[in-house]
C-alpha cells in the first residue's frame, strides 16, 4: 500500500486548486472580452480590448495595495526616532 506524506497530499490539493482557479480566470477573461465585443459597436472594437486591460490593471493595483497594507499592519509598532538630533 502506498502512503502519501501529509505535506505532499496538501501540495496536490493546492495544485488542483490553483489549476481550477487559473482555468476559471482564463474563461472569465474570454467571456468578458466576448461580451465587450458583442455590446460595443464594431467601429469601437479596440476599446473592448482596452477595457479588459484596464480592468486587469485596476485589479492588480487593488491586490498590490491590499498586500502592502497586510505587510504594514503585520509588523509590530515601533515609534520613529526623533528626526532632529541634539
For each of the chain's 86 residues, which pLDDT tens digit applies? 456 666 777 777 778 888 998 899 899 889 988 888 888 888 888 887 888 889 889 999 999 999 999 888 887 766 666 555 55
Q: How far apart are CA 59 and CA 51, in angstroms?
A: 12
pLDDT for res 85 = 58
Three-state secondary structure string covering the chain: CCCCCHHHHHHHHHHHHHHHHHHHHHHHHHHHHHHHHHHCCHHHHHHHHHHHHHHHHHHHHHHHHHHHHHHHHHCCCCCCCCCCCC
pLDDT for the residue numbered 55: 87
- Which contacts (CB < 8 Å, 24+ apart) does range 53-62 have? 56/29
The overall pTM is greater than 0.85:
no
Amino acid at each position: 500500500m502506498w502512503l502519501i506524506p501529509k505535506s505532499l497530499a496538501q501540495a496536490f490539493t493546492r495544485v488542483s486548486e490553483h489549476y481550477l482557479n487559473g482555468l476559471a480566470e482564463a474563461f472569465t477573461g474570454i467571456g468578458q472580452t466576448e461580451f465587450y465585443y458583442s455590446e460595443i459597436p464594431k467601429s469601437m472594437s479596440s476599446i473592448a480590448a482596452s477595457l479588459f486591460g484596464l480592468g486587469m490593471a485596476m485589479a492588480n493595483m487593488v491586490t498590490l495595495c491590499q498586500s502592502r497594507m497586510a505587510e504594514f499592519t503585520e509588523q509590530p509598532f515601533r515609534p520613529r526616532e526623533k528626526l532632529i538630533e541634539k
